[in-house]
Amino acid sequence: MRAFLYISLILLFASVTPDQTGINNGDIAPDIELKTPKGKVLKLSKLRGKMVLIDFWASWCGPCRKENPNVVEAYHKYNKEKFLNGKGFTVYSVSLDKNEKAWKRAIEKDSLVWKNHVWDENKEVIRTYGVASIPKAFLIDGEGKILASGNELRGLNLHLVLDKYLKVE
């Protein structure tokens, strides 16, 4: 009986992999429409024309909080740059917090200075994007095409990928 339970669990988790959601590099990123800390709805599609890092994180996630200074550094470094297919760089932070106050405190404490913070309170967007663990990110260009995702965008790799798409004048 125990073996049957373990096999069932393995099959269940194996069937929910990000690759099977259809969200892959080269695809157009599905639109996201979630509430900001002030309760307004912010659509990902409103950021078209810019390079956007869709960053899935939470205040309780240690690796996410350790990655936040790197994302802040990239934002300051690239937010006014011109890219091959996008003018400027911004971050669309998608929180998976259960506690709204903890999410808002983490934004302030980690100096997440960009304006695009949203809360996936009902965990709908993580299913669409196939997010099984966090931190997880997707880089999209000015047309909404996914250029890179996952570990390609953590640490120094985020900067290297953004450098690759800078417009050389």
Q: Give the tens place of pLDDT for each residue, 59-78.
A: 999 999 999 999 999 999 99
Element (H, E) at 100: helix 100-109
Cα torsion 145, 149, 152, 155 to 10°: value is 110
State the pTM of this model.
0.86
89-142 pLDDT per residue, tens: 999 999 999 999 999 999 999 999 999 999 999 999 999 999 999 999 999 999
| Number of other residues whose CB lies within 10 A of the CB of residue 40 | 8
Q: Please name each of the domains of the chain with its CATH number.
A: 22-164 (3.40.30.10)
